[in-house]
Structure 1
Amino acid sequence: MDRQIRRVGVALLALICLLFVQLNYLQIVRADKLANDPGNSRKATRDFNRERGVIQTADGVVVAESVPTPEGKFKRLRRYPESTLFAHVSGYLSFTFGTDGVENTYNDDLAGRSVEVRDVRDVLSDRVRTGNVTLTLTKGLQQVARDALGARRGSVVALNPTNGAVLAMWSFPSFDPNPLAAQDQRAVQASWKGLQADKSKPLLARTFRERYAPGSTFKVVTAAAALERGPELVGKPYPRLRELDLPRTDANLPNFGGSSCGGTLPDLLKVSCNTGFAQMGLDLGAERLAAEARDFGFAARPPFDLNAPAASEFPEASSFRRDEPALAKSAIGQQDVAATPMEMALVAAGVANGGVIMKPHVMGEVRDSEGRVVRSGPSEPWQRAMSPANAASLRDMMVGVVNGGTATRAAVPGVQVAAKTGTAQTVGDNSHAWIVAFAPAEAPRVAVAVIVESQPGLGDTVTGGRIAAPIAQTVLAAALRSR
């Protein structure tokens, strides 16, 4: 009998020990994860009932704030005074759909949970002292980008090439985050369903989450590959052709509009010569071209401080072993090459910054509730794409594109601009109009990328030089005036 009692006692003691271990595991090891789980409704309710920090622009305009509400389940609601203007930057805080954008990345700062914005007294007393986030963007330049693009689908990205700070980042169509942060969850659900059903995809941050064929803007990368890895090709005169016969096939690759072109690298870049750059891609070979694309950040997610940036794409060198025509087309930004507008802005910024691409970011600084700066945006290199000397050579070639080539409409009076245009044919008879640019060319302060999506037609009226260049010119001029 005593033996049975002892067995039962041991079993009960073991169960108690297991329960104790499990409770400690939940309360200590997994406490933070469970507390911050997006599906934790108690956490979401708590966050909505607490103070939350402000998101504001570099020029002091409030983009997101918490306001008290007299009625309803929540004591406070998130309000977005600028509506659609910064929606793809600020993101949203929604009881039902969680967070996105700055509200996601800097959630702990805004909610007062990060170590930097709290001290020991706050932790012991559970006092909430929120952090406030100041962006690198200004309302003025963001409005310029929005107005310049107009009601056309596309994106505008402007960066400071010397430190990676995003100066403007506009994607159209956009959306109003306010309905997603409302009290009435049925209304929130209806708003979300409407946004999801909209074929124009207003929720999509095209600037850093959508990939497109970069077209001839990718010739900047091909030119860099020649300068860095194929110096024997830089001075090589390429024959004047109307179309290039592609190897191992009966197909050919024509120049835009059936024109003829040729010459050395500066000549080819100035007029965006397809036949010359396609042959240059073949001369470089897959290994050298793919390596340079990787050095510019292709095939990697950029270290952007907003969540879920898309990785731009350039095929592995091995994929071209039996497909030289694909290599020729890839050298001019077609075939399976795909890039986000952010990536192409970084390409321009890399050339502008002596070959070094800086980490892009929208956070200028985080301040605690007493106004002390607890964190500043990074000013750190991401990629070394070119040597300073070769970057300077490529810059001079891009200046030639503005002064007498395909990007004359990007010229800013009194300032030397460097640029490269692109026109990427898409499904049917539509084309994406592209440009990448930076200014002033000798001491760059701003780099931009512009894409206008799916413009109808294939002729001179839908080129990057005609459609995207004036947008870039407007943004560059405004950015230089304000800096």
Structure 2
Amino acid sequence: MNSQIRRLGIGLIALFVALFLQLNWLQVVDADNLNNHAGNTRAVVRDFARPRGVIQTSDGVVLALSTPTDDDFERQRSYPEGSLFAHLTGYFSFTYGTEGVERTYNDALSGRDQKFSLDRLGDVLLEKEHTANVTLTVSKALQQVAAEALGDRKGAVVALEPRTGAVLAMADFPSYDPNPLSGHNQNAVRDDWNDLNADPERPLLSRAYRERYFPGSVFKVVTAATGLATGTATVDQPVYPFVSEIDLPQTEQPLRNFGGSTCGGPLPEALRVSCNTSFAQLGLDLGAQNLESGSQAFGFTKVPPIDLPFAAASTFPPTALLARDKPALAKSAIGQQDVAATPLQMALVAAGIANDGVVMTPHVMGEIRDSEGRVVETYEPEPWTTAVPADVANTTRDMMVGVVEGGTGVLAQIPGVAVAGKTGTAQTGRDTSHVWFIAFAPADDPKVAVAVVLQDQPNVNEATGGTLAAPIAKAVIEAALGAP
């Protein structure tokens, strides 16, 4: 009898151990597979109901938080700043999932990331949550300045710290309010989603890092730097002829300066007045391979490794195409033809020149803290690509200073601060153009690099980038530098 009881006891203990091990396997080892399974609808409800970390700016303004509610979802995700940061924070929606920082750092915010827990098994048994809070590199103060300067004109503003790649501001217009998408009334959520997607202005689209535009003359910075780096041009030679148009191979259609103006001279002068004929000739002199390689060195044709989802790669025509199409080569050198860039990419171009030719990896996450307030992750700056040697970057910087001091970018001047910049206008229709301005300052010790694009502006000329876009960049630079 005793042996039977003993065997039964051993069997029960073995069964208990097996169940315990299986429970631990499911809850600890295989938890992520179960949680992330597409068919696990309970996981969606659970994530929506569980605590979720805060997203905040570098100056401590809360951008996203979860508060308790009395309904089945238990918590409501809200965005106190509404549309101002929508394309950065994104949304956390029961119906439409996640977007923006909410998507990139979902594991940290939701507590799925195991590195935020030192005792995973103990946390499971005690039902402890280990959500984390994400602090961005963007400040509310600078974001507000960028958004107000942009106003209600379609376009975007991107400001970066050249030495680290930190995004200091990223403003889009139009934008949207993420709060309705995170609501609990699913009929209302779907109605809002449908309205946003039906809007011809496409407010859900981030123009800062997902939309590509013809860059026009701001691309001349890339062409100029490539010309210097390859030895195709110097600050003295060649001296381009003073003409209003240039004949191109393989076509009877000449390439003209904007408005029929006459310009020429050495490279610094050509950049100062944004001379199309001079840069078209430089493009022909460089050749297709050099120009494509030069653009790629700045990041064109590559997806920028920013910690935001679905960033768009900027485009440049391949050598095989441009080598047999000389008119396309000349037009590509001035940012036309099939060249297209995101505002983020052009901000990276400016930042690369500012940072001695090294383009840093762009990022919006500054640090992540666990639920106890301990810093568990801090972004460490990393180079993305070396665009040009430092001496070439410095020469290009000096030429860009000339653009602001006495060229097409004079409206970006800031008393007591040397600003390096470049204007751009890219015709998109009979009477409309995208207008650009890229800049960094102070030129001798850069703290901020900026790109501004205004989409489909009417009645423009070559100077319009300096008239419309440069004042926006100036406002952002002044705010970033703390100018009175």
Q: Is the TM-score greater than 0.5?
A: yes
Q: Deviations over 1:331-388 (max 9, x none)?
A: 0000000000000000000000000000000100000011111111230000000111
Partner of 1:469 in structure 2?
470
What displacement does 1:413 show? 1.4
Partner of 1:14 in structure 2?
none
Partner of 1:229 in structure 2?
230
- CA separation of 1:321/1:105 partners in 2, compared to 1, >3 Å: closer, same or farther? same
- CA separation of 1:185/1:421 partners in 2, compared to 1, >3 Å: closer, same or farther? same
Amino acid at match of 1:277: F
Amino acid at match of 2:223: T
Secondary structure at 1:432 match in 2? strand
What displacement does 1:229 show? 1.1
- CA separation of 1:229/1:109 partners in 2, compared to 1, >3 Å: closer, same or farther? same
Q: Deviations over 1:123-153 (max 9, x none)?
A: 5544212100001011110000000010100
Secondary structure at 1:85 match in 2? helix
Partner of 1:444 in structure 2?
446
- Does residue 1:97 correspond to 2:99, yes or no? no
- Does residue 1:433 correspond to 2:432, yes or no? no
Partner of 1:11 in structure 2?
none
Determine the C-alpha separation between the residues in 2 that align with 1:324 and 1:39. 54
- Does residue 1:286 correspond to 2:285, yes or no? no
Paired residues of 1:366 and 1:375 also in contact (CA < 8 A) = yes
- Does residue 1:345 correspond to 2:347, yes or no? yes
Determine the C-alpha separation between the residues in 2 that align with 1:30 and 1:270. 62
Structure 1 length-normalised TM: 0.92
Determine the C-alpha separation between the residues in 2 that align with 1:224 and 1:56. 38
Secondary structure at 1:276 match in 2? helix
Q: Deviations over 1:197-227 (max 9, x none)?
A: 0000100011000000000000000001111
- Does residue 1:330 correspond to 2:332, yes or no? yes
Segment drifting more, 335-344 vs 373-382:
373-382
Partner of 2:21 in structure 1?
none
Partner of 1:207 in structure 2?
208
Percent identity, aligned pairs only, is: 59
Paired residues of 1:88 and 1:101 also in contact (CA < 8 A) = yes
Secondary structure at 2:209 match in 1? helix
Secondary structure at 1:266 match in 2? helix
Partner of 2:144 in structure 1?
143
Amino acid at match of 2:294: E
Paired residues of 1:362 and 1:377 also in contact (CA < 8 A) = no
Secondary structure at 1:169 match in 2? strand
Partner of 1:163 in structure 2?
164
Q: Structure 1: where are the runs of 5+ without partners?
A: 1-24
Secondary structure at 1:251 match in 2? coil
Structure 2 length-normalised TM: 0.92
Partner of 2:131 in structure 1?
130
Amino acid at match of 2:330: A
Amino acid at match of 2:57: T
Paired residues of 1:230 and 1:284 also in contact (CA < 8 A) = no
Secondary structure at 1:208 match in 2? coil
Q: Deviations over 1:216-255 (max 9, x none)?
A: 0000000011111134555211111101111111111110
Partner of 1:306 in structure 2?
308
What displacement does 1:35 show? 2.0
Paired residues of 2:418 and 2:443 also in contact (CA < 8 A) = yes
Determine the C-alpha separation between the residues in 1 that align with 2:347 and 2:366. 19
Determine the C-alpha separation between the residues in 2 that align with 1:401 and 1:156. 20
Determine the C-alpha separation between the residues in 2 that align with 1:388 and 1:469. 26
- Does residue 1:78 correspond to 2:80, yes or no? no
Paired residues of 2:68 and 2:75 also in contact (CA < 8 A) = yes
What displacement does 1:410 show? 0.6
Secondary structure at 2:158 match in 1? strand
Match of 2:455 among 432, 441, 453: 453
Give the root-mean-square deviation of aligned CA atoms. 1.9
